[in-house]
Amino acid sequence: MINTYKMLCLSVFNVTKYDAEAANDFMGDLASRLNFQHLQGKIQITADALPLYVKAVEVNLGGFVDFAQLHKIYGKGNANDNRKYSPPECIGTTKKVVWGDPDPVHISTSYVERQNLTMRMHMRRFTRLTNAFSKKMDNHCYAIALHFVYYNFVKVHKTLRVTPAMAAGLTKRFWTLEDLVNFAD
């Protein structure tokens, strides 16, 4: 049997509270964007160990996905540690299959963690201890939306050699910044 693994390369985001309702809304939005009839096999989802994802994935994606959680184990920081604004060192992880048959090799949150780092590096408003933060929620959401449209439609990714939108079949050509501005109109 040939095991094929296909990454969803298009980035999605949601700006909201960090609670069960938000998780349910996010997974519902994801489910509405997937065409399950055209998928070959199940998709695999990995979440961190936050329990609210279990119900949200179950309600919205149920039997259509293989679902696992990755729990990160952190060491205890010591009093001499000068990392005031950083979490303690991650000393290990445990993988938990919630349901289905997720491929253990692909139980990982690395892609979303990398996406979060890219977002922090591209938008200084996510950097701690700066004055670049958003004072209005609307402006914050607009900045994030602009980042993701640029990231998905304009920026050529080295590993893909095209934009994520092209790889996903949403567009057949490279977008320019002018296209992006015209799209906003």
Within 13 Å of residue 27, how many CA atoms lie on the same side as its CB?
23
Give tens-digit pLDDT for 56-115. 999 998 888 899 999 999 888 666 666 666 778 889 999 999 999 999 999 998 888 888
Burial classification of residue 160, based on how many CB atoms lie within 10 Å of its CB (0-12 exposed, 13-18 middle, 19 or more buried): middle
Within 13 Å of residue 20, how many CA atoms lie on the same side as its CB?
6
Residue 80: the pLDDT is 66
pTM of the model: 0.73
Residue 58: the pLDDT is 93
Q: Which pLDDT band, with edges at 50, 70 and 90, does 8 fall under? A: very low
Q: Where in the chain does DSSP place strands (E)?
A: 43-48, 65-74, 90-99
Q: Which pLDDT band, with edges at 50, 70 and 90, does 2 fall under? A: very low
Reduced to 3 DSSP states, what percent helix, strand and coil does the chain have, rounded to the nearest 5?
A: 40, 15, 45
Structure tokens at 75: 């060491």
% of the chain surpassing 90 pLDDT: 26
Give tens-digit pLDDT for 130-156. 777 777 888 888 888 888 889 989 999
CA distance linking residue 139 with residue 137, whole number of Å: 5
Residue 4: the pLDDT is 38
Q: Do the Cβ atoms of 91 and 81 come closer than 8 Å?
A: no
